[in-house]
Structure 1
Amino acid sequence: MSDSHPAACENCAAPLRGRFCHACGQAAHSPVRSFAHAVEEVFESFWHLDGRIFRTLRRLLSPGALAIDYLGGRRAPYVAPMRLFVVLCVLTFFVGKLVDWSDDATVAPSVQVNGAARMFAGAGTVAEVERLRDANVAEMEEGREGLPAIAAPARRGFDQGIAEIRRQADLRIVELGGTPAPAPPAAAGVETRGTDALVVSTDGEDGWLARQARRIEQNWPRIERDPSLFKAAFMGSVPSALFVLVPLFALLLKLFYLDSGRLYLEHLVVALYSHAFLLLALLGQFVLLALEHTIAPYVVTFGMFTGLLAGLLWLCMPVYLLLMQKRVYGQGWLLTGTKFAVLGGIYAFVLVNAAVALALLSLARA
C-alpha cells in the first residue's frame, strides 16, 4: 500500500507543506497504512526515540543536573519528568516480575544444612548424631519463629532445612547401626507445614478489613505452595503506590524548603527525577540478581562480584538524593544534611508502612 503523504491534513484539512500540519501539528503519514510507521509511533510516543531518552538517562546519573536544567527552562533536549518516571516504573517492575528472587530466602537454611551434614559425617555414635540433630533443628526453628508471618518463602526455606537435617541425621544413625526415632508430627516433612494459617483479627465481620482478612486466610495455603503468586501481586501493586508516594514526597520537599520560593510543581519535578533515579537503581538490582542466578552456578566468584555491585547501588541511593537536594536548592551542607536526615526519616517511615500495607493487600489479592 502506498505511504505517500496526502495533500491536506486528514484532521483539519489544512494544506500540507511538510511532515507535520502547521495548523494542528498532526503527522502527515498515517500509522494505520504502514506497519513500520505504526511501530515507530508506538515507540516514539513511549520512548521518544530521537535520542532524548538516552540523553536524559545520562543526565539523570548526575545528581540534580537534570532537575536544574528542566527547572531552568532547558526542557527540549530531555524527556519530560512524568514520562520518564512512568517509563522507568513500568520497565523496572516488569523486569522485577520476571526475576526469580524468592530463592534468596533459603540461602541461610541451605548453609546450615550443609554444615550439619558435615558434622553428621564426623559423628561416631548415635547419641552424638541425635545431639547435633536436636541442636541444629532448635536453631532452625528459632530462626523460623523470628520471621514475620508474611515472609512465606523464607518460612518454607526453614521448613525444608529442618526436614533435610532430620533426613540426614536418620541416614547417619542407620549407618551407625541404630534405629531412627519417629519424627515429630510437625516436622515429619515439609508438606505437613505447607498449610500454616495466617490469622488476621478484625473488629467487624462485614467490614473491609474483615473481608481482606478472610481473603488472606483463603489465599495463604496457595501462596505457601507457590510464593511467586505473592511476588507477582506485590510487584504489580508497587507502581500504583508510587503514584501516591511521589506527590507526597514533593509535598515534604515543599514544606522543608519553603524558604526556596519554589512552587509545588517545581518540587514535584525534583521528586519525579529523584524517584526516576531510584527506579533506575532498582532496575540495576534486578538485572544483577538475574545475572547472578544465571552465571553464579557456573562461576563461583561471580556471586561476590554481583553482591559488591548491588551493595554499591544501595549505597548510591541516599548519597544521590543528598547531593541532588544540595545542588537543586543550593543551601549549605549543614542545613541540607539536617533537612535530608529529617525528611528522609519521615519518608522512610511512610515507605515502611506503605510496604506493609501493600504486602497485606497482595496477600489478599494473590
Structure 2
Amino acid sequence: MTASDHATPTHCENCHEPLHGQYCYACGQSVINPVRHASHALEEVFESFWHLDGRIFRTLRDLIAPGRVALNYLAGHRARYVAPLRLFVILSVVTFFVAQFAIRTDAGTGPDPIVQFDDNNSTGDEGKRFQQADTIAEVEQIRAETLKELGQARATVPAAVPGARKGIDAAIVAINRKADQRVEVLRKDQDLSAEQVAEARAEAAAMRKDQARVEAGGAPKKPLLETAPTLADVERLRDEKLKPRQERLAKLPADAVTARKVELREIRSTNLTAGCRAAQLQIQHATATEGPRTRKAADDARVYGDNECGDIDFTMFGTEPWDEEANPVTLGSAPQFVNRWLNRQIAHGRENIARAQKDPSLYFRALVGAVPSALFLLVPVFALLLKLAYLGSGRLYLEHLVVALYSHAYLCLVMLAFFLLLVIDHAIAPHWAGFSWISGLIGTLLWLWLPVYLLLMQKRVYGNGWPVTLLRYLVIGNLYFVLLTFAAVFLAIASIVRM
C-alpha cells in the first residue's frame, strides 16, 4: 500500500457510527477525507461555492425561461436548483469582476473641445468657464485666451467673402458680454471697489504681456509666481503677493465679513499656486537628475505634491465657494460632530474629484465595486413592493423575496452577457469593424428583452390575468425605477468619497 492509499473507514470519523454508504446517516459527514485527497479537497471548494454538480448549469438554463426557476422553487423543487441568494451573490460577483476588464476608462488625450455658439450668441464651454471663475483676473485671462483663438480663426477667413466673418464676430461680442457679466457679479458678491477691479484687470493684463514676451522668445519682465524659475523665487514672489493682502486684511474691521473672506481666499489661492509651482520645480529637478528612469505622475504627486495648479470650488447654499474652515456646510439642528463629519466627506470628495480627473479608472473602480452592495440592498425593497402589490395573494414575504432574488439574478446575467460582449468586441472590432454593429445590436436586444422578461416572469409566477398583471407591473416598475434613480445618485456621490 502506498502513502496515498487509505482504507475506507468502517465507522464515521466524526461520531463513530457505523457507515452504510458514502455519508454518515447520523451526522452527514462524507466518507472521503479531503485532507488526504487533494483532488477531493479542490472538488469540495467548488462544490461548496458553485455546486458544480449540475445544479448551476440547470439553474442558468431554466433561468433563461421567464419565471420557471422561481415557480419551480416555490413549488418545492429546490434540490435541482442553486438557492436564490447564493445564485444572486455568485452572478453579481462574477458580473462586476468581468466589468472591471470590459469597460475601458483610459483618460482622453485628444485636443480640447471646440468652442461652440448657438443662435443667441451664448457660449458653451467658455460660458461655463466664466461661471466657474472666482476672481476678476481669472475672468480676464479666460477672455484673453478665447479672444486670441477667435482672432486667429477670423484671420484665416477671407475678408472678401460676404458674411464669412459674421459668426466669429458675433462670438467675440458674446465672449465680451459674458466676461463683463461675470466681472460685475464678482464685483457685487465680493464687495469690490472700482479701484480693486481696475487693479485686478491691470494685473491680468501685465501677466498676459509677460507671457506673450516669453512666447516670443524674450525674457520675462518680472518673474510670475506661476513661472518662477527657482524655489527661492517662488518664496520671494509669494511673500510679495501676500504682504499687501495681509496688510489689507489687518485693517478690515471684524464685521466686514465678505471683504475678509475675499482677502482670505486670495491668500489661500496664492499659497496653493506657490505650492504647485514648488512641486513642478522639484519634479523637473528629479527628472533631470534621475536620467532615463521611467516616472509615474502618481508617484511624483505623492512625493512632491500636486503639480497641476487647478482648484475645484464647490458653491453650495449660497454664492460663496465651500471651504472647510471659512465657509463650511452647517446643518443648524445637527450636532457639531455631524457637521464636522459632513464637511470631512465634502473635503474627501473635493480631493477625489481632482484625482478622478487625472485617472478616471479610480472613480470607475469605486463605482463598480459599490454596485453589488447597492443591488443587495435593493432586493428586499423590491420584494416588499411585490408584497404590497400582491396583498391578499396568500404568499409570504420570503416567497416574494425568492422572486426578487431570481429577478435580480437574471439582471446580473444580462449585464454579464453585455460585459462579455464588450470584451469580445474589444478583441474582434479592431480587425473587423462590422462586428461593432453586430455587438451593438445584440446588446440593444438584451436590454430591450429585460423588461419583457420581468413582465412574463411576474405573469407566470403569480398567475393573474394580463390586465391585472400589467397594472401591477407598471406600478411596481415605476416605484422601483424612482428608488433605483435615488440609489444611483447616492452611489455616484458615495463612490467619489470612498475611492
Q: TM-score, normalised by structure 2?
A: 0.56
| Residue pair 2:67, 2:456 contacting (<8 A) in 1 also | yes
Distance change >3 Å, CA 259–CA 6, structure 1 → 2: same
1:354 equivalent to 2:338? Answer: no
| Residue pair 2:115, 2:125 contacting (<8 A) in 1 also | no
Deviation at 1:254, TM superposition (A): 0.4
The equivalences for 1:259-270 within 5 A come to: 259-270=392-403
What one-letter code is carried by the residue in structure 2 that aligns with 1:298?
A: H
Deviation at 1:77, TM superposition (A): 1.2
Deviation at 1:134, TM superposition (A): 4.5
Aligned counterpart, 2:421: 288
Q: Which moved more, 1:11-20 or 1:60-69?
A: 11-20
Q: Which moved more, 1:264-273 or 1:6-15?
A: 6-15
Aligned counterpart, 1:18: 21
Distance change >3 Å, CA 274–CA 22, structure 1 → 2: same
Aligned-pair Cα RMSD in Å:
3.3
Aligned match for 2:49, one of 42, 46, 49 = 46
Deviation at 1:268, TM superposition (A): 0.6
- Write the distance in 1 (CA, Å) between the matches of 2:80 and 2:483: 34
Aligned counterpart, 2:330: 203
Deviation at 1:101, TM superposition (A): 3.8
Larger radius of gyration: 2
Distance change >3 Å, CA 66–CA 144, structure 1 → 2: farther
Relative to its length, the structure with more helix (as a share) is 1
The equivalences for 1:294-313 within 5 A come to: 294-313=427-446
1:332 equivalent to 2:316? Answer: no
Deviation at 1:236, TM superposition (A): 1.3
Aligned counterpart, 1:257: 390
Distance change >3 Å, CA 3–CA 9, structure 1 → 2: farther
Aligned counterpart, 2:453: 320
- Write the distance in 2 (CA, Å) between the matches of 1:321 and 1:143: 45
- Write the distance in 2 (CA, Å) between the matches of 1:139 and 1:22: 80
The equivalences for 1:64-213 within 5 A come to: 64-102=67-105, 134-135=115-116, 141=125, 196=312, 202-204=329-331, 206-207=337-338, 208-213=341-346
What one-letter code is carried by the residue in structure 2 that aligns with 1:265?
A: L
Deviation at 1:36, TM superposition (A): 1.1
Q: TM-score, normalised by structure 1?
A: 0.75
Distance change >3 Å, CA 87–CA 298, structure 1 → 2: same
What one-letter code is carried by the residue in structure 1 that aligns with 2:105?
A: S
Q: Which moved more, 1:319-328 or 1:12-21?
A: 12-21
Q: Which moved more, 1:29-38 or 1:80-89?
A: 29-38
Gaps of 5+ in 1: 117-132, 146-165, 174-181, 186-190
What one-letter code is carried by the residue in structure 1 that aligns with 2:419?
A: F
- Write the distance in 1 (CA, Å) between the matches of 2:489 and 2:127: 21
- Write the distance in 2 (CA, Å) between the matches of 1:327 and 1:194: 57
| Counterpart secondary structure, 1:259 | coil
The equivalences for 1:274-285 within 5 A come to: 274-285=407-418
Which segments of structure 1 move beyond 6 Å, counting only runs of 4 or more? 136-140, 142-145, 191-194
Q: State the Cα deviation string for residues 205-224 of structure 1 (Å, max 9, x = none).
A: 74243222111112222111
Distance change >3 Å, CA 199–CA 55, structure 1 → 2: farther
Distance change >3 Å, CA 134–CA 347, structure 1 → 2: closer
Distance change >3 Å, CA 143–CA 20, structure 1 → 2: farther
1:63 equivalent to 2:57? Answer: no
Gaps of 5+ in 2: 130-148, 157-211, 216-225, 227-306, 317-321, 323-328
Identity %, equivalent residues: 52
Distance change >3 Å, CA 268–CA 193, structure 1 → 2: farther
Aligned counterpart, 2:9: 6
- Write the distance in 2 (CA, Å) between the matches of 1:134 and 1:78: 58
Aligned counterpart, 1:222: 355
| Counterpart secondary structure, 1:260 | coil
What one-letter code is carried by the residue in structure 2 that aligns with 1:283?
A: L
What one-letter code is carried by the residue in structure 1 that aligns with 2:44?
A: E
| Counterpart secondary structure, 2:16 | coil
| Residue pair 2:367, 2:495 contacting (<8 A) in 1 also | yes
What one-letter code is carried by the residue in structure 1 that aligns with 2:4?
A: S
Deviation at 1:6, TM superposition (A): 3.0
What one-letter code is carried by the residue in structure 1 that aligns with 2:345?
A: Q
Aligned counterpart, 2:371: 238
